[in-house]
Structure 1
Amino acid sequence: MVSEQRAESTPTRRRGAALEKAITDAAWEILVEQGYSGFTFEAVAARAGTSKPVLYRRWPQREDLLLATLTRHWRPLDIPDTGSLRQDALTLLRTINAERDRTVILMRIQLADYFRETGTSFNDLRDRLLPADRTPPFERLVDRAVERGELADTPRSARTVNLPFDLVRHDMLMRMGAVPDETIVEIVDAVWLPLLGLPPHDAQPED
C-alpha cells in the first residue's frame, strides 16, 4: 500500500518532445500574462516545473526560447482554394480575423520591449518565424488566380498583393481585437480587387 502511494506521488520524468512542449506552453503563458519583460528563464522554469539549466541546454539565449515559443504557437495558415480569388481572399481574411487577432496584438504590444531591445520590428520577427521558402498567402492566391485566367499576368508589387492582410492587421491593432466582417468584405471588394484590375464586386449577402 505504501509503495503504491509513493509511486502515485512521484511525478513522471518528462523528456524530449514532452518536456519541450511543457516548457514552451509555460513560456507562452508567461509571455501573454507579463510580456517580454517578465519572460525570464527563472519565470518559465518555475511555471514549467523544471530548472534553468534544462532551459539553457536547449535555448542558450532568451531570444532562442522566445523564437521556439512563438514558432510553436504561430501555426501556418491553411491557404483556401475555392476557385475564386474573391472567395479565397474573404476566407483567408476571416480565418486570420478569427485565429490571429490575439496573437497579432500580443506580438505588437507584449513584445514591445523585445523590439526595442533588439532594434527589430514585427516584420523582422514574422520573417524569422515563417519558413524561408514559404510564399506569402496572398501571393499564392494571386498566383492561382493568374493560372486560372482570372487575373492578367502582369507585374504587381508585394505591397499591392499583401494589402488585405496589412489593412486587417491595422484595424485589429486600432480596435484591439477582431474586425467586423463588413470591414473584411469592404477591403476585398472596394479596395483590393479594383487595385488588382478587377471590376468592383457588387455586395452580395454572405453565408
Structure 2
Amino acid sequence: MSTDGVRAAGRRRGAELESAILRAAVAELSESGYAGLTMDRVARRAGTNKNAIYRRWPNRAALGVAAYRRLATDKLSPPDTGGLREDVLMLLRRINCGMASPQAEILRGLLAGVGDEPELLAELHAALADGGAGVWLTVVGRAVARGEAPPEALHPRVVTVALTLLRNEYVTRGLTTVPDADLVEIVDEVYLPLLRGRGLTPGP
C-alpha cells in the first residue's frame, strides 16, 4: 500500500473505520479460520494500526465474534419465490448446506476459542439464537401481505421456529446436514400450521 493510502486510511474515523476493520476480519476468518486470525493481520488488511482495533475490541476473541456476526448477516438474504412454503424451504436448505461450509468451520473454531470467556460465548450464542430473525420476519411479512399468513404470525420467536427445530436436529442427532425429507416435514407438519394458526381465536 502506498504512503498516501496509509495516510488516507489513518484519517478514517468512527463507523467507517470500524466497518473497514470488520471487513478485514471477515476476510481473514474466511481465509484462515479463527486459528489464523491475528490483530496484526487484520490491521494490515484494514490499513490501520492495532491500537485502533483494541479500542473497539479488547482481544482477538471479541473481534472474531463481531466479524462472525457480520459474516453471518451478509451471507443470509431472504428468498422471494412468491410463496411462503417455497421461501421457507429455500431458506432452510441454504442454512442446512451452510452447516458443512467454511462458515460452519469458522463457527466451530470460535465456539472452541471463546469457551473460557462466558460473555463472548453468550454473545455468540445470542447471534446464533437470533438466526437472522430479520430475514425470517421479511419472508413471513411478505406472506402476510399476500394473505398466506395472519399478521399475528409476525413475532420473532414464532417466525424462527423452523430454524430452532433445524438446530435441534444438529444437536440431538449429531448431524452436520439434515436430510431434505426432514426439512420438508418441519415446514409442512409444524411451521406452516403454526403460522397459519396464529390468527385463530382460542376456543372457550
Higher helix share: 2
Question: Is the aligned partner of 1:137 residue 2:131?
Answer: no
Q: CA offsets per residue over residues 23-49 of structure 1, 9 Å max, x none?
A: 6533444435x4xxx7554xx64xx79
Alignment map for 1:5-16 (pairs within 5 Å): 16=9
Alignment TM-score, normalising by the size of structure 1: 0.62
Q: Residue 184 of structure 1 corresponds to which residue in structure 2?
A: 183
Give the aligned partner of residue 116 of structure 2: 116
Identity over the aligned pairs, expressed in percent?
28
Write out aligned runs for 1:127-206 (5 A).
136-154=134-152, 157-173=155-171, 174-197=173-196
Counterpart of 1:65 (choices 63, 66, 89) is 63
What is the Cα deviation at residue 160 of structure 1? 2.5
Moved more, 177-186 or 71-80: 71-80
- Residues 76-122 of structure 1: CA deviation (Å, up to 9, x unaligned): 42211222110110111112222354434642564234153133423
Q: Specify the code of the residue in structure 2 equivalent to 1:26.
A: E
TM-score by length of 2: 0.63
Secondary structure of 1:88's aligned partner: helix
Separation in 2, partners of 1:138, 1:26: 28
Alignment of 1:12-161 (within 5 A): 16=9, 24-32=26-34, 34=35, 40-41=38-39, 45=41, 56-60=50-54, 61-62=58-59, 63-67=61-65, 69-71=67-69, 73-74=71-72, 75-102=74-101, 103-104=103-104, 106-108=106-108, 110-119=110-119, 120-121=121-122, 122-126=124-128, 136-154=134-152, 157-161=155-159
Higher Cα Rg, which structure: 1
Structure 2: any 5+ residue segments left out of the alignment?
A: 10-16, 198-204
Q: Distance in 2 between matches of 1:138 and 1:187?
A: 15
Q: Say what the alpha-carbon RMSD is for the aligned residues.
A: 3.8
Contact 1:70 1:129 in 2 (8 A): no
- How far apart are the structure 1 equivalents of 2:130 and 2:169? 24
Residues matched between the structures, number: 173
The alpha carbon displacement at 1:166 in A equals 1.3
